[in-house]
Structure 1
Amino acid sequence: MTSALLVIDVQESFRQRKNWAEVSNPGVAVEVGRLVDAAREKGGVVIWVLHSEPGSDTPFDPESGHVRLVDGLAPRDGEPVLTKTSRNAFTTTNLQQRLTELGVRKVVVCGIQTEQCCETTARLAADLGYEVDFVTEATATFPIRWDDRVLGTDDIIERTEFALAGRFATIRTVKELTEA
């Protein structure tokens, strides 16, 4: 089965925000890099996705210069780099068309943010009929603040795994996907 590694939003924009100091996995790019290397070695497809918010005057505004992969990650010739403006990687890109053209039936999801762009991409991929592996340890997130409450990163990650496992995705480890 042809599979594709979807690298979601591992971009400099996040590192420019004040809350980067609270990130759950500051080494997310290293874990993602391991998955990229393994996917390439196995002949899989690697698709890079960046989040953009044109006109927002934030680190996600293309004018900021931060809508680019973090240092240490780089696409090879022929690896698509898609730019999205929605939370999931499908709605505002031609991702589904590319996956169909490549004969992909299985996607592996990693990147930033665990419960937002990564989870929503995994859910939509499952709804579209793809087999989905979700690699939580190759994702990163931040505490969520709402009114006077805070949901910590460990709780966010656990909730995401519970919500996805057995319904939308199989939760995998980097080791499972790099040593197999």
Structure 2
Amino acid sequence: MTTALLVIDAQRSFLQRESWSAASDPEIADTIARLVEHHRDRGDHIVWVLHTQPGSGTVFDPARGFVELMEGLSPAEGEPVRTKTVHNAFTGTDLSEVLADWGVDEVTVCGVRTEQCCETTARVASDLGLRVTFAVDATATEPIEAPGSPAGRSVAEILADPRTLLPEDIITRTVYALSGRFADVRTVAEIIG
């Protein structure tokens, strides 16, 4: 098997948001760095992916300067960095071609946000015929407000709302949704072990 580690959206953009203070793992870069080092030691390929929303004025707008990897994470020579504008790392990028050129048949997915870009990338990778390992504790997410919640609430108000999905619940849902269908869900310790 030829493996590639996909590091999805582990970028400074998230650190600018008040909601990051309630993330499942605000220090996720440390866990991702351990996984990156493991894959480098094995000689696996690594692809870095950053989410962009050009012209939006948000923290994902490259003009704001936050669309760069979190501190402690950096590509080694030959490790490509791709940008995307949708939830998965395949649509609108050449990721599929890059992996095919390398002969990759297995990917490990990590990054930010567990249920959004990481899960969506894992699902698409599976649909493309790749074997997928989802490094669940090398992903992080934030609380999700209930549909129709008032805009502009503080993190404290969001967390106090019983309708809010908390990070641990979101991660559990992702594990249930992916396991045995789209991915082999494992911890970093299980992957490295």
The alignment's TM-score, normalised by the length of structure 1, stands at 0.98
Determine helix, strand or coil for the equivalent of 1:38.
Answer: helix
Alignment of 1:1-180 (within 5 A): 1-146=1-146, 147-148=148-149, 149-179=163-193
Residue type at the aligned position of 1:176? E
- Shifted more, 76-85 versus 147-156: the winner is 147-156
Q: How far did residue 18 of structure 1 move?
A: 1.4
Q: How far did residue 129 of structure 1 move?
A: 0.2
- Deviation sequence 1:42-74 (CA, Å, 0-9, x none): 000010000000001011000010000011100
Between the aligned partners of 2:189 and 2:27, the Cα distance in structure 1 is 15
- Deviation sequence 1:133-178 (CA, Å, 0-9, x none): 0011000001110235211111100000000000000011101222
Residue type at the aligned position of 1:86? V
Larger Rg: 2
Determine helix, strand or coil for the equivalent of 1:150.
Answer: coil
- Deviation sequence 1:9-45 (CA, Å, 0-9, x none): 0000000111111111112111100110000000000
Between the aligned partners of 1:138 and 1:56, the Cα distance in structure 2 is 28
Between the aligned partners of 2:192 and 2:35, the Cα distance in structure 1 is 6
- Deviation sequence 1:81-139 (CA, Å, 0-9, x none): 00000000000210000000000000000000000000000000000000000011000
Between the aligned partners of 2:21 and 2:190, the Cα distance in structure 1 is 29
Q: Which runs of 5+ in 2 are unaligned?
A: 150-162
Question: Relative to total residues, which structure has the larger strand share, 1 or 2?
Answer: 1
Between the aligned partners of 2:36 and 2:168, the Cα distance in structure 1 is 25
The alignment's TM-score, normalised by the length of structure 2, stands at 0.91
Determine helix, strand or coil for the equivalent of 2:164.
Answer: strand
Runs of 4+ off more than 6 Å: none
> How many percent identity over aligned positions?
55
Q: CA RMSD in A?
A: 0.7
